């Protein structure tokens, strides 16, 4: 008689009658006519722990439990079953009379893992194979496949969540080879008055005190009348690198792009790809026989990288008709510049360029102004910083980026910020501002399609595309971010200034009580 392999599995559903002969050619625990007795339920084998994570799509069609001699399943037998052999699984999966999704529905998760381990199923294609109605199962099976590797064996039973998530928003848009999702705590600072409108400040972060600190800054800014913002630029950029046979031909191409005729032709080709993409400028540069063109364009309420890339490709096609010897080396030649610190972004701007300003009443003006100059301006200059003339703009911006579905890697240039502080009203009050030339945000596309992130955008009143004024929602989000950064800057600098002054204050007047700084309480000794 054929040797049988016995595997343990605890049922969570009603038992069903035997449908197929229990045969299997892997995971053998014994051989012979009779399988060895199962291990005690209180001490499952390591493979049992993996199998207990498996749920069957259609248990009546796969992995039947073996019956007892009288045809009924005993209590012990109900807890165990046999996996089918690789040959049987392959025959079911490759049956030409069924589609792949239908065949996979007849197999258990563990049998699909068996197929994947033997190269019959591509793990990266599980969503396509299972179908849109079984996306969570695809994620679950992929976790099981990865868990079969010794280095990643804990994934299947880990605390990384995967259930009850809308993967239809993820597939083909946000992530590949999905094995779950990472929850991040979401807090709300504020509210903060921005241009006369009160906004909550959503912040997804694992940094304790960040939300509370930003809230203190919001309170101080609101007391002075809130924040005023101006949008001084709005243009996403893409900078391809193009090779020419010689510097002479490259110079001719540069002159043509810089001419009114060349710009008009490139603009027409670029804007033919989208009703929202409007080319604003072309900036050219040469390095040897390589030419760089920095396309700057408005992109509506989208952050716009895909939109501008499509338009740039079309414009380069028009250019190549004039200069057939040119070779496009890269659609992005780092002249953009995306996700890297660059002086060109700091000077020219990228995305939304916003300046936010507010007056803070009755605070320690001299101490804050001195600290801001010595820390944010001189200290950053000593470090050779590019756009880093601030205390912690990236903290606030990145937390809002994560909460609203922005690309977190773009915090590199988006958090470029100069914080300025000066006395006003005869030195009684503080005038503070942040200048942020590269806030790269959108309210459609990318991570904004995810349900939770859409909920946050809806809370701010900027979800999706603006119905009357394309681009206004994304611009409003950029204004909110700059204003929140100003609140965070004020709060942190006040805390730093108070900490320094407290030491001196305590040394000379240990019983003086609370410091006059409105944001940072200090205590008597």
Over residues 489-518, the pLDDT tens digits come to 999 999 998 884 445 445 545 444 444 344
Residue 93: give the domain boundaries. 89-169
Same domain, 485 and 407: yes
Instruction: Pick the catalytic residue from 25, 117, 313, 407.
Output: 407
Q: Is residue 522 part of a domain?
A: no
Same domain, 399 and 270: no
Q: What does 330-372 look like in DSSP terms, one character per residue?
A: ES--SSS--SS--HHHHHH--EEEEEEEEEE-SS-HHHHHHHI
Taking 70 as the threshold, does the pLDDT of residue 12 lie above it? no
In the chain, how many domains are there?
3
pLDDT tens profile 253-292: 999 999 999 999 999 999 999 999 999 999 999 999 999 9
**Residue 248 is among the residues annotated as catalytic for this protein:** no
Res 230: pLDDT = 98
Q: Is residue 495 part of a domain?
A: yes
Tell me which residue has tokens 């019983």.
511
**Residue 505 is among the residues annotated as catalytic for this protein:** yes
Q: Is residue 40 part of a domain?
A: no
Q: Is residue 175 part of a domain?
A: no
Question: What average pLDDT does this structure show over 102-121?
Answer: 95
Q: How many CA atoms lie within 13 A of 377 on its CB side?
A: 11
Taking 50 as the threshold, does the pLDDT of residue 55 lie above it? no
Same domain, 196 and 310: no
Q: Is residue 60 part of a domain?
A: no
Taking 80 as the threshold, does the pLDDT of residue 45 lie above it? no
The CATH number linked to 321 is 3.30.70.420
Same domain, 408 and 353: yes
Res 81: pLDDT = 55
Same domain, 388 and 501: yes
Burial of 294 (0-12, 13-18, 19+ CB in 10 A): buried
**Residue 207 is among the residues annotated as catalytic for this protein:** yes
User: Are 487 and 217 a contacting pair, CB within 8 Å?
Assistant: yes
pLDDT tens profile 164-180: 999 999 999 999 999 99
Same domain, 461 and 436: yes
Instruction: Pick the catalytic residue from 50, 254, 375, 505.
Output: 505
For the ranges 51-60, 214-223, 330-339, the lowest mean pLDDT is seen at: 51-60
* pTM higher than the cut 0.85: no
Q: Is residue 409 part of a domain?
A: yes
Mean of per-residue pLDDT scores for the chain: 85
Instruction: Pick the catalytic residue from 100, 280, 283, 339.
Output: 339
Instruction: Pick the catalytic residue from 94, 207, 261, 317.
Output: 207
Same domain, 354 and 327: no
Res 228: pLDDT = 98
Q: What does 234-299 look like in DSSP terms, one character per residue?
A: EEEEE--EEE-SSHHHHHHHHHHHHSHHHHHHHHHHHHTT-SS-EEEEEEEEEETTEEEEEEEEE-
Res 152: pLDDT = 79
SS3 193: strand
Q: Is residue 514 part of a domain?
A: no
The domain boundary, picked from 272, 301, 335, lies at: 335
Question: What average pLDDT does this structure show over 152-159?
Answer: 89
Res 36: pLDDT = 52
Taking 50 as the threshold, does the pLDDT of residue 365 lie above it? yes
Same domain, 299 and 222: no
The domain boundary, picked from 307, 335, 363, lies at: 335
The domain boundary, picked from 139, 169, 199, lies at: 169
Same domain, 220 and 141: no
Separation CA 6–CA 27 (nearest Å): 8
Taking 80 as the threshold, does the pLDDT of residue 215 lie above it? yes
The CATH number linked to 196 is 3.90.770.10
Same domain, 266 and 329: yes
Q: Is residue 208 part of a domain?
A: yes
Same domain, 222 and 250: no
Strand 290-298 versus strand 388-389 pairing type: unpaired
Res 486: pLDDT = 98
Same domain, 246 and 362: no
Res 503: pLDDT = 52
């Amino acid at each position: 008689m054929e040797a049988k392999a016995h595997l343990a599995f605890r049922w969570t559903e009603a038992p069903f009658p035997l449908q197929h002969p229990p045969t299997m050619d892997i995971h053998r625990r014994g051989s012979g006519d009779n399988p060895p007795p199962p291990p005690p339920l209180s001490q499952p084998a390591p493979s049992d722990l993996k199998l207990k994570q498996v749920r069957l799509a259609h248990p009546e069609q796969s992995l039947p439990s073996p019956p007892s001699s009288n045809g009924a399943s005993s209590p012990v037998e109900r807890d165990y079953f046999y996996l089918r052999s690789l040959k049987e699984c392959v025959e079911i999966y490759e049956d030409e009379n069924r589609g792949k999704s239908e065949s996979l529905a007849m197999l258990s998760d563990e049998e699909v893992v068996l197929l994947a381990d033997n190269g019959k199923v591509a793990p990266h294609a599980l969503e396509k194979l299972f179908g849109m109605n079984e996306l969570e199962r695809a994620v679950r099976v992929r976790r099981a496949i990865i868990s079969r590797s010794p280095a990643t064996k804990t994934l299947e039973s880990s605390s990384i969540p995967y259930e009850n998530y809308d993967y239809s928003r993820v597939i083909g848009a946000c992530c590949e080879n999905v094995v779950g999702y990472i929850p991040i705590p979401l807090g709300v600072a504020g509210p903060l008055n921005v241009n006369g409108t009160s906004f909550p400040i959503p912040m997804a972060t694992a940094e304790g005190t960040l939300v509370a600190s930003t809230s203190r800054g919001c309170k101080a800014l609101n007391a002075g009348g809130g924040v005023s913002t101006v949008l001084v630029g709005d243009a996403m950029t893409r900078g391809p690198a193009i090779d020419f046979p010689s510097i002479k031909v490259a110079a001719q191409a540069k002159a043509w792009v810089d001419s009114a005729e060349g710009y008009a032709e490139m603009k027409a080709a670029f804007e033919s790809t989208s009703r929202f993409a409007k080319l604003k400028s072309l900036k050219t540069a040469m390095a040897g026989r390589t030419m760089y063109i920095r396309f700057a364009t408005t992109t509506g309420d989208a952050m716009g990288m895909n939109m501008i890339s499509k338009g740039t490709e079309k414009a380069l096609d028009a250019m190549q008709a004039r200069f057939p010897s040119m070779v496009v080396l890269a659609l992005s030649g780092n002249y953009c510049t995306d996700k890297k610190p660059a002086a060109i972004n700091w000077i020219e701007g990228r995305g939304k360029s916003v300046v936010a300003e507010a007056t803070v009443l009755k605070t320690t003006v001299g101490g804050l102004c001195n600290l801001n100059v010595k820390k944010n301006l001189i200290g950053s200059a000593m470090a050779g910083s590019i756009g880093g003339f601030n205390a912690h703009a990236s903290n606030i911006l990145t937390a809002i980026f994560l909460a609203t579905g922005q690309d977190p890697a773009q915090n590199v240039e988006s958090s470029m910020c100069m914080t300025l502080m000066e006395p006003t009203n005869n030195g009684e009050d503080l005038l503070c501002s942040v200048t942020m030339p590269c806030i790269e945000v959108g309210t459609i596309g990318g991570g904004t399609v995810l349900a939770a992130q859409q909920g946050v955008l809806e809370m701010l009143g900027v979800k999706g595309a603006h119905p009357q004024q394309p681009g206004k929602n994304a611009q409003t989000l950029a204004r909110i971010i700059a204003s929140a950064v100003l609140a965070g800057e004020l709060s942190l600098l006040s805390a730093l200034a108070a900490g320094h002054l407290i030491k001196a204050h305590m040394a000379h007047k240990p019983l003086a009580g609370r410091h006059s700084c409105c944001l940072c309480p200090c205590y008597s000794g």
